[in-house]
Copies of this chain bind each other. A is one copy, B any other.
Amino acid sequence: MMADYEILKTINSPKDVKDLSFMGLKELCDEMRSAILNRVSRIGGHVGPNLGVIELTVALHYVFNSPVDKLVWDVSHQSYPHKMLTGRAIGFYDESRFGEITGYTAPQESEHDIFTVGHTSTSVSLAAGLAKARDFKGEKHNVIAIIGDGSLSGGEAFEGLDNVGDFKSNFIVIVNDNEMSIAENHGGLYGNLAKLRETKGQASDNYFKALGFDYRYVEDGNDVVKLITELMKVKDVDHPVVVHIHTLKGHGYHPAEKNKEAFHWSLPFDVDSGKVLPFEAKESYGAVVADYLEKRVQKDPQLAVVNAGTPGAVCMQGFRDKHPDNFFDVGIAEEHLVAFISGMAKSGLKPVGLFYGGFIQRTYDQLSQDLCLNKSPAVIVVESCGITAMDVTHLSIFDIAMTSNIPNLVGLAPSCKSETVRMLDWAFAQKDFPVIIRTPADVPNVLTYEPKENIELNKFEMVKKGSKVALLGLGNFLKLAEETAELLKEKGVDATIINPRFTTGLDEKMLSSLPAEHEIIVTLEDGVLSGGFGEKVSAFYGDKPVKVYNFGADKEFTDRVPVAELLKRNDLTPEQIVRKIM
């Protein structure tokens, strides 16, 4: 590894890239590669996607004139090289400055970042708006969307391409084809990309041409000089063109080239060996679900486990490799996933769709129309939910508010490991409803009063009967209810603890019985308050003589804020809760 970053340190803006010789550009690429490895090996991050586009990014900034020309990065987890060339290199080569740079494009960081982006398949549509606005205002500049092959399977990307294919002015789509999604690619389109690669762009039935684009193929996607030559040819083009560029994910770092899936995103690792550094492996709900499905498939050879391009994030790599006939990775195509499992369930199967956190957001209409309107009894598990220190694009606190207001859907929130298993059992056994289970991002709780009652539709569980104050701790926050009760005990209050279990329906019988012996009802939920569980409880008690306090997350986008700080900000520590009650 080089450690001096001689050239990189001189790059304060894209202008400085343009002053380099071709030899200098190549050296710059090497230094950038070192800087990326310097950062991701120490604090983790997206490895392969960024190593693969170093040369492409240098060429883009050499040829085009950002921020006048507009670069829109899809997903933007591959924007590290772009950040390095736009005044933010220090966030990569200087460990003390890592924290200043986010992992995605962020307009507050630089005028070269136009959008905050973290979900896939959005770049073409966002850039289309920039292009139309440019034409409206009579401006002349290039609009460039950079999208990876993995993102092309998302419906929004298709909708964007289809619309742009009709445009009559400058629009450049860079397809960064590294033959990979996060995991391997799935879908007929990837056969088309493969044929185009094999034929150096000459294959018939070209997907992009079918949508109205001009098309160019570049085989040497990690050769900065060749890339510059090719990009020069489309600069200032007067119509929509796709430049299909073949790159190598993880280029220049052998372990990442060799094991592309593992190095898509990695925890800190040893650069020489490529081995992830020792870390304290924590139990996770993902592992609980994976273990459950492994046992279930032994009994049910027709078990269909469906995921949209993120098998690693939902702990399913082992299951996938062991049971390829029972695992369906539909690629990044969340809408399709929901309709697909609805169709399976209609045919009598019991499919389960696995989502990672906020990506369930991509399926509201499919949940409503394809699944719930049809009452298809499929199971969905949304993993890693709740208040986290995630990037602003990857929050997963909105799922209860989004899903709990759709008719026919039954939502469950497990509070610990054993309950997760019982809820899965219940969901698979029943045939009347689509069921959605949200598991926490947190490690599984160890509870003093572990729930054990059988699951029954919209029946809450009374885990400890007390009086005066009733604490309803939903899912992950049953633990917080216990902690709060502990603190209340010190104040002489023997609080009731209730495990609501359901996010989508109230136990009206139990709730009606509470005012007799309780003056205060407290709801605790590990998600946004607005539109969520607590407000439903408040509404239920609107005309009853009890006080109701809802605790949960404010309606806001938070960005990499530590969990402890978020909990405090939202009055979610036992001390704060007790103070508000008292």
Task: Identify the A interface with B (CB < 8 A).
Answer: 107, 114-119, 122, 125-134, 136-137, 153-166, 186-189, 191-192, 204-207, 209-213, 302, 304, 328, 330-331, 333, 335-336, 339-349, 351, 361-362, 364-366, 368-370, 372-374, 392-393, 398, 401-402, 404-408, 528-532, 534-536, 538-539, 541-543, 547-550, 555-557
Q: Which residue of B lies closest to A349 (CB)?
A: B133
B133, B137, B154, B374: the one contacting A155 at CB < 8 Å is: B154
Contact B205 A187 (CB under 8 A): no
Give the CA-CA distance A536 to B535 in the complex, in Å: 6
Question: Which residues in B have their C-beta under 8 angstroms from that of A134?
Answer: 347
* Minimal beta-carbon separation of A328 from chain B (angstroms): 7
Question: Which residues in B have their C-beta under 8 angstroms from that of A529?
Answer: 539
Contact B191 A166 (CB under 8 A): yes
Contacts A115-B374, A401-B531 known; A192 to B212 CB distance under 8 Å? Answer: yes
Give the CA-CA distance A304 to B373 in the complex, in Å: 35
B304, B543, B548: the one contacting A542 at CB < 8 Å is: B548
Question: Which residues in B have their C-beta under 8 angstroms from that of A393?
Answer: 369, 373
* Minimal beta-carbon separation of A437 from chain B (angstroms): 19
Contact A156 B339 (CB under 8 A): yes
Contact A136 B530 (CB under 8 A): no
Contacts A373-B557, A542-B549, A547-B542 known; A163 to B137 CB distance under 8 Å? Answer: no
Question: Which residues in B have their C-beta under 8 angstroms from that of A406?
Answer: 398, 555
Contact B349 A136 (CB under 8 A): yes
B186, B212, B370: the one contacting A188 at CB < 8 Å is: B212
Contact A339 B129 (CB under 8 A): yes
Instruction: Beyond A115-B342, A205-B206, list 19 extra A-B contacts (CB 8 Å).
Output: A118-B369, A125-B340, A127-B343, A129-B339, A129-B344, A129-B351, A133-B344, A159-B336, A162-B333, A165-B187, A166-B187, A166-B188, A192-B212, A364-B364, A372-B557, A404-B531, A406-B555, A538-B542, A539-B539
Contact B346 A114 (CB under 8 A): yes
Contact B347 A129 (CB under 8 A): yes
B115, B156, B401: the one contacting A346 at CB < 8 Å is: B115
Question: Which residues in B have their C-beta under 8 angstroms from that of A541?
Answer: 538, 542
Give the CA-CA distance A364 to B366 in the complex, in Å: 11
Give the CA-CA distance A162 to B157 in the complex, in Å: 12
Contacts A207-B207, A369-B119 known; A528 to B163 CB distance under 8 Å? Answer: no
Give the CA-CA distance A509 to B432 in the complex, in Å: 45
Question: Which residues in B have their C-beta under 8 angstroms from that of A351?
Answer: 129
Q: Which of A209, A339, A344, A406 gathers the greatest number of chain B CB atoms within 10 Å?
A: A339
Q: Which residue of B lies closest to A114 (CB)?
A: B346
Question: Which residues in B have their C-beta under 8 angstroms from that of A344?
Answer: 129-130, 132-133
Contact B365 A362 (CB under 8 A): yes
